[in-house]
Amino acid sequence: MNFKATRKLLMAATALAALAAHVPAAHAQDATQLPTVTMMVGGIDKQIYLPYQLAEDLGFFKKYGVNMVLSTEQEGGIGAEDAMVSGQVDFAGVWYVHTIDFQLHGKDVIDVAQLSGAPGERIMCATGSGVSSPADWKGQSVGVTDLGSGTDDLTLYLAARYHLTTQDFTRVGVGAGQTLISALQNHRIVCGMTTQPTVNAIETMKLGYSGIDLATTAGAEKWLGGAWPAAGVLARADWVKTHPKETQAVVDAMVATMHWINTHSAQDIADHLPPDFVTNPLTTEAQYVAALTQDKGQFLPDGMMPPGGPEKVLDVEKLAGKISGPVDLGATWDPQYVIAANKLEGYSQ
């Protein structure tokens, strides 16, 4: 065998060894032998949605028996929840509230694993504004992603809890990221609701501070009066019924990921995510890790729905004027797959 051929074989062997090192040896399976499922996430690089990519990067989807194809919704494109309900993907990594919205429109969508007990948002207020509660919004303009969006609903609910009506303050749709930063910088708004890494950018630029914490379950309990389940794993009820094995495998992977998050540091988590998730124009790795350390409490350790969570989400939607008929909350959440997954991991429910 000549030198070039030998070198090619050595390089191939090295590549295979490196690949094998990233697959749990006891559970390594040929992806071509696994059923393929698809999931679109509502912003896969956002810190509030990190468990989906983390599950993939830890090798958990294949470990528990599925070949997962992840995608992310694009600005101006179809929403992840709409892609799921129309059959373009099998699952959506989005907020639980969509199950209620779809039910009101005659579509049966269920949440099969709940990943967070808080919106993962912070209301960033302009430096020097002195805003410390929604009561301070009187006579001011407050930024939301879009009028009618989830951040708008939460803003309305917070205002009502502090006895403000829509006549007392103005809501302004400012988008996210750079457009929200610009609105704060140019004094179009006194506060704006956003997530990481935009929070980091605002603090680094010294444009504002976190006035209201909705990024952790404890923060949601303080400001909203209870846990507010956000990121979950949603699917059409008819798809789940005809694909129980695949559904269980996906939930097994996500529950294992939530236990992993609960028992590892923010730095460990960042080390297992794609580099551009944790280092980009809006954040450095150190800032990402610091923010995740602060906000890791949003993630639930076992994938179970927080007690009273669906009722709290329904309350917010009612106040926002989104509820046009009766809602069967029992049909929006199915715990059987999470219960089975926790038993598989050695945790009882």
Looking at the DSSP assignment, which residues form a beta bridge with residue 235?
91, 110
pLDDT band at 8, cuts 50/70/90?
very low
Question: Maximum CA pair distance of the chain?
Answer: 83
Asked if residue 348 has pLDDT above 60, the reply is yes
C-alpha to C-alpha distances, 307 to 149, 177, 328, nearest whole angstrom: 24, 32, 16
pTM: 0.84
Q: What is the pLDDT of residue 2?
A: 41
E-only strand ranges, 73-120? 91-95, 109-114
Instruction: Tell me if 26 sits within 8 A of 59, measured CB to CB.
Output: no
Could you give the percent of the chain with pLDDT greater than 70?
90
b vs e for 209-223, b when ≥16 Cβ sit within 10 Å of the residue's Cβ?
A: bbbbbbbbbebbbeb
Cα(110)–Cα(101) distance, integer angstroms: 11
Question: Between these two residues, 196 and 349, which has the higher pLDDT value?
Answer: 196
Q: What's the angle, vertex CA 207, arms to CA 147 and CA 173, rounded to 5?
A: 10
Amino acid identity for residue 136 in this structure: D
DSSP secondary structure, 192-204, as one string:
EEE-TTHHHHHHH
| pLDDT tens readout for residues 222-273 | 999 999 999 999 999 999 999 999 999 999 999 999 999 999 999 999 999 9
Q: Under a CB-based contact definition with an 8 Å cutoff, are residues 162 and 135 in contact?
A: yes
Q: Name the pLDDT band for 31 (thresholds 50, 70, 90).
A: low
Instruction: Find out whether 327 and 246 touch, Cβ atoms under 8 Å.
Output: no
Lowest-pLDDT range of 10-19, 74-83, 311-320, 339-348: 10-19
Question: In this predicted model, what pLDDT tens digit does every residue of 190-226 receive, in sequence order?
Answer: 999 998 888 988 999 999 999 999 998 889 999 999 9
